[in-house]
């Protein structure tokens, strides 16, 4: 039995349950960041993804390329397995990985004899979103026993969702979001969360950008504090810290910056004590306050050149946006 899951933390949870590392493939790719264009084979897309990851400074290009090559070779070899189990969570990060894999396995010649799914959402006791990496040995074992065979309906939906995610415009994904997606019960929420990462109609801010600015507006904070605060406001946290640092840098280093670096006391000083040490924090600029107030359009003042799946957002006057009030995508101009 072979296992594919979302990354190293989940792989560690499987290892705690006695599953050998040799039988686990972590699917390491942050698909909500960077280009995921249509019309490419798996090998070609992996080359694009490796170049993006290296460009972000998250790894050496040759090393990342080799990691993708080995990953894809192991995936291709699963057709010889008796059984493969896909372990994924309900958040956006995992759901994007899941539809990529379902698209691959929708081709019958790529499939092992048995393709099984394990998908988790919330802790049955606390009701909070729970990641695979936090699971106990006993819970992993129970989930493995409850695994279910991937259906033709799930494979077909995965293929359609992957194509829509890679389309050159968001309309295909928006159309899919309005359809019956019960075959993959967490996909609808994931698609909505992805649509919310388009620039908003009024402010030009994605949902994550707005959340970050709102948390800094409460009080100047370190980037780690901002990250934790934004994670706490997500129904299903999906963004890692490296991606979040990249977003903060974009807000800070834009032509019209929305964030700036400042200093603040590292801790409250008792009356009469010496001033405490200072720490670096993020604070709002005047433009950041205007953006939150709806008095400034971040895309109009700073432009944009960013990939959203297979869609390149690159023209400030006619870039695709999300109209949250009417739950639809629009393209001004």
Residue 88 reports pLDDT greater than 80 = yes
Q: What is the pLDDT of residues 9-25, one digit of tens each?
A: 999 999 999 999 999 99
- Domains of the chain are 2-194 (no CATH), 203-303 (1.10.10.10)
Q: What is the pLDDT of residues 166-205, one digit of tens each?
A: 999 999 999 999 999 999 999 999 999 999 999 999 999 9
Strand ranges (E), the chain: 2-5, 24-26, 83-89, 114-120, 148-149, 259-265, 278-284, 306-308, 311-313, 321-323, 328-330
Among the residues of 77-168, which ranges form H helices? Answer: 92-105, 137-145, 152-165
Beta bridge partners of 42: none
Q: What is the percent of the chain where pLDDT is above 70?
A: 95
Q: How many CB atoms lie within 10 A of CB 240?
A: 15
Mean pLDDT, residues 73-84 taken together: 96
pTM given for the model: 0.94
244: helix, strand or coil = helix
Q: How many CB atoms lie within 10 A of CB 239?
A: 21
């Amino acid at each position: 039995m072979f296992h594919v899951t979302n990354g190293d933390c989940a792989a560690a949870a499987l290892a705690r349950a006695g599953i050998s590392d040799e039988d686990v493939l972590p699917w390491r790719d942050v698909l909500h960041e960077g280009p995921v264009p249509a019309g490419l084979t798996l090998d070609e897309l992996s080359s694009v993804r490796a170049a993006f990851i290296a460009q972000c400074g998250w790894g050496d290009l040759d090393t990342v390329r080799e990691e993708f090559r080995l990953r894809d070779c192991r995936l291709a070899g699963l057709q010889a397995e008796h059984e493969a189990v896909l372990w994924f969570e309900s958040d956006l990060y995992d759901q994007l990985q899941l539809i990529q894999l379902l698209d691959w396995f929708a081709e019958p010649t790529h499939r092992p004899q048995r393709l099984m799914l394990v998908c988790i959402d919330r802790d049955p006791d606390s009701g909070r979103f729970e990641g695979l990496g936090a699971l106990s040995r006993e819970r992993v074992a129970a989930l493995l026993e409850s695994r279910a065979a991937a259906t033709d309906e799930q494979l077909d939906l995965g293929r359609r969702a992957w194509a829509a995610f890679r389309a050159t415009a968001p309309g295909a994904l928006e159309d899919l979001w309005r359809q019956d997606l019960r075959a993959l019960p967490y996909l609808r929420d994931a698609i909505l969360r992805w649509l919310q990462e388009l620039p908003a109609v009024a402010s030009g801010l994605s949902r994550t950008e707005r959340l970050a600015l709102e948390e800094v507006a409460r009080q100047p904070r370190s980037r780690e504090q901002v990250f934790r605060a934004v994670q706490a406001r997500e129904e299903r946290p999906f963004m890692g810290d490296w991606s979040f640092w990249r977003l903060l840098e974009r807000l800070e280093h834009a032509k019209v910056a929305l964030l700036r670096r400042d200093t603040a006391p590292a801790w409250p000083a008792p009356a009469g004590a010496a001033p405490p040490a200072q720490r670096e924090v993020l604070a709002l600029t005047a433009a950041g306050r205007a953006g939150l107030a709806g008095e400034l359009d971040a895309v109009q003042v700073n432009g944009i050149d960013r990939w959203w799946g297979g869609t390149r957002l690159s023209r400030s006057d006619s870039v695709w946006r999300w109209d949250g009030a009417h739950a639809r995508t629009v393209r001004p101009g």
